[in-house]
Structure formats: C-alpha cells, structure tokens
C-alpha cells in the first residue's frame, strides 16, 4: 500500500488511542511493536468480558437459549470475517488458534493428500518461520522439493527468478503478502495469477497485510489465505484460515473429535461439511467473538482511513530515522509499509531494545522469526519498529530521542 486510498472517513489517531486502556494504564510507554501483537481496544475487551460474564455457553449443541445465543455470536463473527476479507461464503472461514496453525492445517491435510516425492513447493526468502517449517517437515517426510525465491537488495522478491522457478513440478505457491521483518509487500496479485495459470495451488500469509491494507480474497483468487486475530486488535488464540469451498470440501479433517462429525459408530465416522470438519472440540468461543468485535471496531473507524494515516506516519518515521547519523534501514523497496527494521552503528540490536525500553519505547529486537532474511541481510538481528492505528508522530519523535540516548551511551 503506497498510493493514498480514497476514503470518506477522517481518522484521528489521538482519539482512537483513547479506546485502548493499556495507554491510560501505562501513560509513559510508546508502543511500536504491533507487528508482534497489537494492543486491544476497550470494545474488544468488553466483548470478551460480556461473553464470559453474561452470554457464555458451549455452542452448536445446546437447545437452551444461552447456548443458541452463544452459537449465534460465534457464527456471526465468522460472517464478519468472511465479509471483511471478501470471501464468497462464511463456510469458507475456518477458525484456528492462529495463522501458524492455519498453515500447518493446510500442510497436514491438503499437503499430505496431494503431494508426493518430486513435487515442489515454492516459498520466498522473506517468509516467517511459520511459512517455512511446516513445509520442511513435509519435505523431510514425503521427499518433496522446497524451492526458495530469493529477495533482492531492495528487499522484495526477485520476480525473474520466481518466473524461472514456477515450472510444471510446482504444486503450491505459499507467499507472504507483507514481510514481518522488512515491511515489503511482494506482488502477490501477479504471483497468484501466474501460478493459477499453471494450475498451481496458492496460499497467502496475510498476518501483517490484513492489518494495513484492504484484502479481498475473491479478487486475489488465492486458494488459501491465513491471518491471526491478535495482530488485528483481537484476542490471542484465535486465527483464520480462508479456503475456497471446493478446496475445503476435498480436504480430509485435521483433527478428530466432537462437533466435526455427522455420525460416529465404532465401524465408521462420517464428517461434517466445512468449516465444522476442521474445528474439532470446543473452540475459542470468546476469542471468535472478540475478533468479530475487532472487525466491527476497524470498520467503525474506516480501514481505508486507517491505511491512509498509517502510510503518512510510516513516511514520517522513515524520514525521521534516516535523519539520524549511524542508522541503517534494511530494505528500501517502494512497497514497504508499517514496519521498519534498522540498526544503530556499533550497537547490538538487543542493547538497542533494552535501552529503548528504559526510555519507555517498546520495539522488537531479534531475528523476528525470519532468520533467512537476517542471513540475506548479513546481520544476526535487527531492531524493528512497527505501527498500529494508535501510533502518532509524537511516538516517532519519542523513538528518535530514545535512539539518540542509545548513541550517547555507546558514544
């Protein structure tokens, strides 16, 4: 997202920040680690509290009103997710614990069912470990080929190499929509389109992207799309797997247990249709309700207005950091957004993170679950700042002052 989006909303970050009680309860912190996990607005906290305090019961099986109301709230959140990402049906939305579980579900169901020795999976060098390790496990078990699309010096994928790697042996393209380490946004529309033309199944990791840009999976035409609720200002422990209905219908269950069956005898079990087939046991009911509340909250502010504001703030942050002598920003592709990985000359990232914390600034320091990216950059780790809708220019100014304190200490 670089072009400014048209919007009818006017976004006020200072006002929105008041919706997040963590900042009133911790008035001296500047939180710049939303890429790891976003803070929660009062509206989400209230929805979760209300679920447990006034409206909790197990779902789907109860004939009493409290259970039926809880079921309606849970399934209502599924409908909100489907609408938010442009799915054709709520039946295409599977609730999981997080995006990691969503990817593992695909690997262990679709992957086991459809891949064999000699087949290839195509991922990029910028992937989060969650989009690497499940495929390595499958590779080691089945003998499939795991192909890696390299990234360029600017921090985006090498498109020419991608084209060369996309041959008849490739059965799956699994690609991030926004790098959690660099903020780079690969050209997923073009990549998915080219893959589909060759009959390749496509999976898009939208964990970072769904927070910072409008997503429409129908227009994208990917077969699978995954994200985590906790990055979208929702609760932890709730994730989403979108799958085209025909894909989900053809896939075997991931786990066995209650609520994912039509009937069970000792001789044979028949499974429920999607999405129930993939949601064995009692789910995270309050988490799903909280995710629905998070989507309501974002919609009330206007996602496009948020995106426009974040783009302006990202540009402000980039210029502010580049104005500091001794700062290196990793990745300079034009597609970058919301995330800046940087270093301070002659200071280890962990020391930077520790001193920034002492100054009241919360950032992430480390490899960001993206060690291949660090290897490509030639560094063991970076310091990463990432934006949420509650961040302001004052937060960036505070970061700059804190970095200068780092330089003063290590002078």
pLDDT (tens digit per residue) in 209-233: 999 999 999 999 999 999 999 999 9
Question: What pLDDT, on a 0 to 100 scale, did the predictor assign at position 61?
Answer: 83
- Residue 217, in any domain of the structure: yes
Q: Does the annotation count 362 as an active-site position? A: no
Average pLDDT over residues 350-365: 98
Instruction: Classify burial at 192, counting beta carbons within 10 Å of its beta carbon; exposed 0-12, middle 13-18, buried 19 or more.
Output: buried
pLDDT > 60? residue 361: yes
Which residues, 6 or more positions from 275, have their beta carbon under 8 angstroms from its beta carbon?
A: 78, 90, 91, 92, 93, 94, 95, 248
Average pLDDT in the chain? 96
Q: How far is CA 343 from CA 87, 119, 398, in A?
A: 40, 40, 17
- The domain total for the chain is 2
Question: What pLDDT, on a 0 to 100 scale, did the predictor assign at position 62?
Answer: 87
For residues 227 and 145, membership in a common domain is answered with yes
For residues 272 and 308, membership in a common domain is answered with no
Domain boundary among 278, 299, 320: 299
Domain boundary among 299, 326, 342: 299
Please report, for the domain that includes residue 403, its CATH number. Answer: 3.90.1150.10
Domain boundary among 299, 333, 350: 299
CA distance 146 to 148: 7
Question: What pLDDT, on a 0 to 100 scale, did the predictor assign at position 411?
Answer: 80
pLDDT digits (tens, 9 = 90+) for 145-156: 999 999 999 999
Helix (H, G, I), strand (E, B) or coil at 152: coil
- Residue 3, in any domain of the structure: no
- Residue 32, in any domain of the structure: yes
Q: Where are the alpha helices (DSSP H) in 207-244?
A: 209-212, 217-220
pLDDT > 80? residue 345: yes
Question: Considering the chain, what percentage of its residues have pLDDT values greater than 90?
Answer: 97
Q: Which two tokens stand for residue 262?
A: 């039509």
Q: How far is CA 402 from CA 65, 358, 368, in A?
A: 54, 9, 21
For residues 33 and 49, membership in a common domain is answered with no
pLDDT digits (tens, 9 = 90+) for 101-118: 999 999 999 999 999 999
The pTM of this model reads 0.96
- Residue 99, in any domain of the structure: yes
Question: What pLDDT, on a 0 to 100 scale, did the predictor assign at position 10?
Answer: 85
For residues 51 and 110, membership in a common domain is answered with yes
Please report, for the domain that includes residue 190, its CATH number. Answer: 3.40.640.10
For residues 213 and 350, membership in a common domain is answered with no
- Residue 8, in any domain of the structure: no
For residues 189 and 247, membership in a common domain is answered with yes
Average pLDDT over residues 192-206: 98
Residue carrying structure tokens 């703030």: 313
Average pLDDT over residues 182-208: 98
pLDDT > 60? residue 8: no
Average pLDDT over residues 374-382: 96
* Residue length of the chain: 411
For residues 324 and 190, membership in a common domain is answered with no
- Weakest-pLDDT range from 143-147, 255-259, 396-400: 255-259
Helices then strands, each counted (H, E), the chain: 17, 15
Band (310; pLDDT cuts 50, 70, 90): very high
pLDDT > 50? residue 4: no
pLDDT > 70? residue 2: no
pLDDT > 50? residue 3: no
For residues 94 and 132, membership in a common domain is answered with yes
Question: Considering the chain, what percentage of its residues have pLDDT values greater than 70?
Answer: 98
**Residue 396 DSSP symbol:** H
Active-site option among 51, 222, 362, 369: 369
Residue carrying structure tokens 């041959």: 167
Query: The domain containing residue 78 runs over which residues?
Result: 45-299
- Residue 359, in any domain of the structure: yes
For residues 94 and 128, membership in a common domain is answered with yes
């Amino acid at each position: 997202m670089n072009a400014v989006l048209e919007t009818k909303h006017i976004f006020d970050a200072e006002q929105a920040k008041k919706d997040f009680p963590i900042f009133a309860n911790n008035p001296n912190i500047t939180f710049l680690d939303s890429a790891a996990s976003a803070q929660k607005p009062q509206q989400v906290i209230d929805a979760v509290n209300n679920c447990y305090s006034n409206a909790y019961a197990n779902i789907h099986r109860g004939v009493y009103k409290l259970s039926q109301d809880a079921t309606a709230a849970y399934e209502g959140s599924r409908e909100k997710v489907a609408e938010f990402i442009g799915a054709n049906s709520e039946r295409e939305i599977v609730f999981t614990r997080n995006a990691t579980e969503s990817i593992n579900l695909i690997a262990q169901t679709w992957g086991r069912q459809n891949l064999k020795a000699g087949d290839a999976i195509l991922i990029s060098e910028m992937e989060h470990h969650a989009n690497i390790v499940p495929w390595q496990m499958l590779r080691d078990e089945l003998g499939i080929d795991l192909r890696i699309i390299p990234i360029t010096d600017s921090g985006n994928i090498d498109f020419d190499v991608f084209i060369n790697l996309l041959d008849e042996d490739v059965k799956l393209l699994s690609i991030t929509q926004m790098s959690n380490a660099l903020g780079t946004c690969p050209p997923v529309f073009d990549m998915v389109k080219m893959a589909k033309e060759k009959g390749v199944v496509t999976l898009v990791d939208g964990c970072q992207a769904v927070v910072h840009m409008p997503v429409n999976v129908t227009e994208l035409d990917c077969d699978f799309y995954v994200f985590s609720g906790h990055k979208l200002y929702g609760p932890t422990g709730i994730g989403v797997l979108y799958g085209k209905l025909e894909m989900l219908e053809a896939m075997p269950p991931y786990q066995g247990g209650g609520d994912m069956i039509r009937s069970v005898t000792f001789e044979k079990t028949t499974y429920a249709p999607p999405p129930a087939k993939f949601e064995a046991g009692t789910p995270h009911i309050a988490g799903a309700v909280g995710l629905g509340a998070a989507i309501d909250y974002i919609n009330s502010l206007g996602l496009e207005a948020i995106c426009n504001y974040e783009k302006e703030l990202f540009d402000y942050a980039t210029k502010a950091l580049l104005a500091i002598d001794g700062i290196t920003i990793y990745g300079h592709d034009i597609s970058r957004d919301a995330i800046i990985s940087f270093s301070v000359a002659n200071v280890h990232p962990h020391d930077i993170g520790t001193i920034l914390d002492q100054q009241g600034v919360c950032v992430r320091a480390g490899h960001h679950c993206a060690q291949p990216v660090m290897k490509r950059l030639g560094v063991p780790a970076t310091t990463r700042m990432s934006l949420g809708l509650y961040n302001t220019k004052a937060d960036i100014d505070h970061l700059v002052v804190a970095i200068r304190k780092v330089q003063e200490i290590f002078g």
